[in-house]
Amino acid sequence: MEPISSVNGKVWGTGRHTTVTGVLFSFAIVVAVVTMMVLNALDHVAQKSNVLDDERSRETMSGALQTFAAQLAATLNDYAAWDDAATNVYAADGMPWTISNYGEMSVNSSLFDVAIVIGDDKKPIMAYRDGKPMDGSLDDFFAPSLWALFDRVKAAGTQDIPEATGFVGTQSGIAVVGVALVREKSGALSVPAGRHRYLIFARHLDAHRIDELGTTYVIAGLRKVAPDFAARYFVDIGDAQGKSLGKLIWTPRAPGDIGYSEVRPKVVQALCLVGLFFLVLLIIGWMAGRRLKAEEVNAREDALRDRLSGLLNRDGLRLAVDALVAASTQSKQNVLVLYLDLDGFKEVNDAYGHGTGDQLIRAVAAGLKVLIPDGAVLARIGGDEFAIAFASNDAEAAALQLSEHILDFLAEPLEIGRRVVVIGASIGIAVSAGGTVGREELVRRADLAMYKAKEAGRARMTLYDPAMDADREERNALELDLRMAIEGGDLALAYQPLIDASSHEMTGVEALVRWNRPGHGPVSPEVFIPIAETSGLIEALGLFVLRKACETAKQWPELRISVNVSPGQFRNPAFTDYVRYVLRQTDIAAKRVTLEVTEGYMIQNPQRTRQSIERLKTLGVTIALDDFGSGFSSIGYLRQFGFDRIKIDRSLVMEIQESDSQREMLQATVALARSLDIPVTAEGIETEEQAVIVSLFGCDTLQGYFFGKPMPAEQITERLHEARARKMKSHRTNAA
């Protein structure tokens, strides 16, 4: 399982994907729309220029037709208004002239192909076509509009030129036909009306002529079509009576289309380039965005990681356990969570510095990584706290086995740089069967179980038990009450006599704190001192005891006063200053004060301990090692700390009467201490025999129920009075 990246990767991945396709899609649409708009505009321009060109072609063509007709009209004028013609056409013997000058001229003439001379009665006098006499009547050949032209000529007054030209349908197609009165050049004619003669020229608009026109005017595909032919651009050929004879059409040059088709690829190319440019910009932007995203993802993942160990941090664990619990509600597996607190990490940190502490954390992280099962989540959730979570078909068994491996691993001395350190761990275990217990509760249970493991002593594992919650609640309530008691000064002190072994006189007292918890009765310091230690109340409590003890001891000038100091107080570098302050405030001689310290703290933190003891000794107080023999250290080892006194633990004294070995051990211990010039106090003396034995072995101070239980200050005062009275009495007896 890769807990975090998979949990979050999915979510982040999808979002990124959607936006990229979205942007690319909109970009493609924009490029397509722009391309279409540009092409559309170009098409519009092309169409426009096509239209303009077609219109120009039409104007050209209609001009060409007019020219075509005008040429015939000019020719006709030349031939009809001709002095020779005015003579010969009207002459009785004029036929040969007429035929050779008109009829025969119609062959191969580009000017006219039909030449006819008629009289006023419309009867042909001569009719030639293509140089040969024509057959049939004129009405068969020409459409009636010929006579419209004729009538116009006939009706022409003296002012008007007796000529008319127009298009006329013929048997062979369409021709421009001109009718003119044959007359002198000057227009004069001696022949009277009624005997006039007229010259008719026709020029056919045949395929050949049309081709010529097309070539001359540069109009491609020019051709003639029927009047009903549908065409967008054409030139109509109408006769004198306004009837359409046909149309001239042509192949549009469509210069716009040509230009468009030439320009289009270039435009598309240019747009593609622009598109490409923006695409590149977009890709660069997208990549930059992706890099930012990736950085963001990294940052988010970083936020879930512990820098030092590279493991998940508390947030990372939260997500991972959430995922595990969610998955196991489906799979019906159990989720196991182990909380692990290193023992002695603080001491390593204090003794060798943070560098070594960091290395230790990394070493532990590396070791745990190897030990945890595949797919397990490993997190560092605090200075020296780790958590492991995994899903398993087993319930506790898997977790207990793993814990055992971890404790074995941590029991071995660890080599950190050139140093070898010994640590351990307390492990709490909680199980969510089939994901039924949510993450928050699961983690809380593992945490609670871990505290229980720690309380029970180091290097232990504890499985969560619902009874722990009740314990916890009780403990919390007790902590609250204790806090109030400290703040309200509701703690009391009891004093236990310290007896000189040779004189059997009380030479000092040990101050022991007492708490009568409201509604509960007296609570043993063995119960509430550890709670004060873990809840940060110990400093206030310790200070209260020290001050109160010193104040009280002022009334007992002949007694020394011993005060217990917790490791929690001792660890504080400012502790010496507190002590100095209290000594001054209570105005008690430092040499009367003994501070009792247990060995636990020193072993883990020898250097610091030495420094603290040295500093305290400069104040003039005595430092005693309390509970010696309950731990594992030898006097030889502890000598380095410069203790002024050793207190042999009650457990060593208890069995000296029953057990020879115990007695020998005690004897050896005391002998060794004395050889080092360290005086020894024996605690827990309950019988006279014990008192005799420990005195014989060399203990100079005795403490225990046999001499007196811890008692209120008044009783100590009373004892002192009695002792003084006894002394006075013996003085007097001696004197007497």
Residue with tokens 């026109």: 213
Say whether residue 54 binds Ca ion (CB under 5 A).
no
Residue 513 interacts with, from Ca ion, ligand C2E, none (CB under 5-8 Å by kind): ligand C2E
Name which of 162 and 508 has its Cβ closer to Ca ion.
Answer: 508
C-alpha span between 451 and 330 (Å, rounded): 31
Give one word for 187, left, alpha or beta, with left for phi > 0 and alpha for psi -120 to 50. Answer: left
| Binding track over 612-641 against ligand C2E, x by CB under 6 A | --------------xx--------------
Say whether residue 551 binds ligand C2E (CB under 6 A).
no
C-alpha span between 88 and 561 (Å, rounded): 176
We find the least distance from the C-beta atom of residue 568 to ligand C2E, in angstroms, to be 8
Say whether residue 72 binds ligand C2E (CB under 6 A).
no
Which residue from 360, 437, 448, 512 is in contact with ligand C2E, where contact means CB under 6 A?
Answer: 512
Q: Which of residues 630-689 bind Ca ion (CB under 5 A)?
A: 683
Q: Which of these ranges, 174-182, 234-242, 266-274, 701-709, lies near ligand C2E under the rule CB under 6 A?
A: 701-709
Residue 385 interacts with, from ligand C2E, Ca ion, none (CB under 5-8 Å by kind): none
Structure token pair of residue 114: 């039909």
Say whether residue 702 binds ligand C2E (CB under 6 A).
no
Cα–Cα distance list, 196 to 77, 160, 187, 427 (Å): 16, 16, 13, 144
Structure token pair of residue 456: 């029970």
| Binding track over 568-597 against Ca ion, x by CB under 5 A | ----------------------------x-
Which residue from 98, 333, 564, 612 is in contact with ligand C2E, where contact means CB under 6 A?
Answer: 564
Name which of 685 and 699 has its Cβ closer to ligand C2E.
Answer: 685
Name which of 313 and 609 has its Cβ closer to ligand C2E.
Answer: 609
We find the least distance from the C-beta atom of residue 598 to ligand C2E, in angstroms, to be 7
Q: Which of these ranges, 42-50, 291-299, 520-528, 551-559, lies near ligand C2E under the rule CB under 6 A?
A: 520-528
Name which of 98 and 695 has its Cβ closer to ligand C2E.
Answer: 695
Total residues contacting Ca ion by CB under 5 A comes to 5
Q: Helix, strand, or coil here: 1?
A: coil
Report the amino acid identity of residue 215.
Answer: T
Which residue from 272, 686, 698, 711 is in contact with ligand C2E, where contact means CB under 6 A?
Answer: 686
Q: Which of these ranges, 164-172, 241-249, 607-615, 699-707, lies near ligand C2E under the rule CB under 6 A?
A: 699-707
Looking at residue 36, what DSSP letter applies?
A: H
Cα 339 from chain centre: 31
Name which of 239 and 683 has its Cβ closer to Ca ion.
Answer: 683
Residue nearest to Ca ion (CB): 596
Name which of 496 and 669 has its Cβ closer to ligand C2E.
Answer: 496
We find the least distance from the C-beta atom of residue 647 to ligand C2E, in angstroms, to be 7
Residue 566 interacts with, from ligand C2E, Ca ion, none (CB under 5-8 Å by kind): ligand C2E
Say whether residue 341 binds Ca ion (CB under 5 A).
no
C-alpha span between 592 and 550 (Å, rounded): 9
Long-range CB contacts (within 8 A, 24+) of 706-715: 707/497, 707/499, 707/506, 708/496, 708/497, 708/506, 709/496, 710/494, 710/495, 710/496, 710/510, 710/512, 710/514, 711/494, 711/495, 711/496, 712/492, 712/494, 712/495, 713/493, 713/495, 713/552, 713/555
Which residue from 57, 462, 496, 695 is in contact with ligand C2E, where contact means CB under 6 A?
Answer: 496
Give yes or no for a contact between 72 and 201, defined as CB atoms under 8 angstroms apart. Answer: yes
Residue 525 interacts with, from ligand C2E, Ca ion, none (CB under 5-8 Å by kind): ligand C2E
Residues 6+ apart with CB under 8 A from 314: 379, 381, 382
We find the least distance from the C-beta atom of residue 562 to ligand C2E, in angstroms, to be 9
Q: Which of these ranges, 45-53, 207-215, 229-237, 556-564, lies near Ca ion under the rule CB under 5 A?
A: 556-564
We find the least distance from the C-beta atom of residue 700 to Ca ion, in angstroms, to be 16
Residues 6+ apart with CB under 8 A from 613: 597, 623, 641, 642, 643
Say whether residue 539 binds ligand C2E (CB under 6 A).
no
Say whether residue 599 binds Ca ion (CB under 5 A).
no
Say whether residue 666 binds ligand C2E (CB under 6 A).
no
Say whether residue 714 binds ligand C2E (CB under 6 A).
no
* Burial readout 11-29 (b: 16 or more C-beta within 10 A, e: otherwise): eeeeeeeeeeeeeeeeeee
Structure token pair of residue 685: 């003396």
Residues 6+ apart with CB under 8 A from 105: 112, 115, 131
C-alpha span between 370 and 312 (Å, rounded): 16
We find the least distance from the C-beta atom of residue 494 to ligand C2E, in angstroms, to be 7
Structure token pair of residue 37: 């708009």
Say whether residue 536 binds ligand C2E (CB under 6 A).
no
Give yes or no for a contact between 343 and 426, defined as CB atoms under 8 angstroms apart. Answer: yes
We find the least distance from the C-beta atom of residue 495 to Ca ion, in angstroms, to be 12
Total residues contacting ligand C2E by CB under 6 A comes to 24
Name which of 309 and 669 has its Cβ closer to ligand C2E.
Answer: 669
Handedness of CA 581, 582, 588, 590 (dihedral sign): negative
Beta strand residue intervals within 16-142, DSSP E: 114-119, 124-129, 132-133
Angle, helices 255-303 vs 3-80, to 10°: value is 170
Name which of 594 and 695 has its Cβ closer to Ca ion.
Answer: 594
C-alpha span between 3 and 708 (Å, rounded): 63
C-alpha span between 50 and 58 (Å, rounded): 12
Residue 605 interacts with, from ligand C2E, Ca ion, none (CB under 5-8 Å by kind): none
We find the least distance from the C-beta atom of residue 528 to Ca ion, in angstroms, to be 16
Residue with tokens 């469509």: 254
Say whether residue 594 binds ligand C2E (CB under 6 A).
no
DSSP letters along 193-225, please? TTS-EEEEEEEE--HHHHHHHHHHHT-TT-EEE
Name which of 259 and 631 has its Cβ closer to ligand C2E.
Answer: 631
Interaction site with ligand C2E (CB under 6 A): 496, 512-513, 524-526, 529, 542, 545, 564-566, 596, 626-627, 650, 683-686, 703-705, 710
Residues lying near Ca ion in the complex (CB under 5 A): 564, 596, 626-627, 683
